[in-house]
Chain A
Amino acid sequence: AQTVTQSQPEMSVQEAETVTLSCTYDTSESNYYLFWYKQPPSRQMILVIRQEAYKQQNATENRFSVNFQKAAKSFSLKISDSQLGDTAMYFCAFSFGNEKLTFGTGTRLTIIP
């Protein structure tokens, strides 16, 4: 079975700084998808970024980027120029595409004004 581990239960950073959230996963398969979802206080789950395992290039979405290390099974999220609206729970997740997501336990990120 696939597992996703987020080792940082909570993090905080000053506004405008850069923060990196860690995620490791375990699978014996070679083709899969990795995601970061954000859950703000409204509790709406919002897709932040996705990565296809067969792509070597790291995904980027504006201030959000990932460091995907397939051999190490690591998928960290970097948030640049952090903003107050980035305060949320962040979940790392894994799937085989058209199948269920396996979530990590989440990292609670607080951006300090």
Chain B
Amino acid sequence: GAVVSQHPSRVICKSGTSVKIECRSLDFQATTMFWYRQFPKQSLMLMATSNEGSKATYEQGVEKDKFLINHASLTLSTLTVTSAHPEDSSFYICSAISSYTDTQYFGPGTRLTVL
């Protein structure tokens, strides 16, 4: 149980285009999901908290207009990187909280490369 999927696992795009990443909780409902960014050999950096049916809460320094988050259902949250630039290249990870255990379960991550 407590499986979180993320799609796509890898994406390469041209500078200026937008990329959407999906995060799904497969066997539990998640009113709260999180989006992280991880640079090589570093810890996870929280970007935003995604709440079902309401606006996401962004961490300080994260551009909300660049990283659009939508949490339209109890099992799906999406992160759209708009007008991507090479500096947005990174590893993006989502997680979802199981209300049964108050524990975050993580997706496998998405490697974004912007050319």
Contacts and interface: CB of A to CB of B under 8 A. Distances in A.
B18 interface: no
Contacts of B49: 100
B69 interface: no
A103 B43 contact: yes
Interface residues of A, number: 20
B108 A47 contact: no
A56 interface: no
A92 B29 CA distance: 25
Contacts of A95: 102, 104
A28 interface: no
B12 interface: no
Contact of A98 (B44, B95, B99, B106): B99
B32 A45 contact: no
A31 to B, nearest CB: 11
B97 A98 contact: yes
Contacts, number: 48
Interface residues of B, number: 21
Interface of B: 32, 34, 38, 42-44, 46, 49, 91, 93, 95, 97, 99, 101-106, 108-109
Contacts of B102: 33, 95, 97-98
A100 B44 contact: no
Contacts of A106: 42-43
Given A98-B32, A98-B97, A100-B49, A47 B103 contact: yes
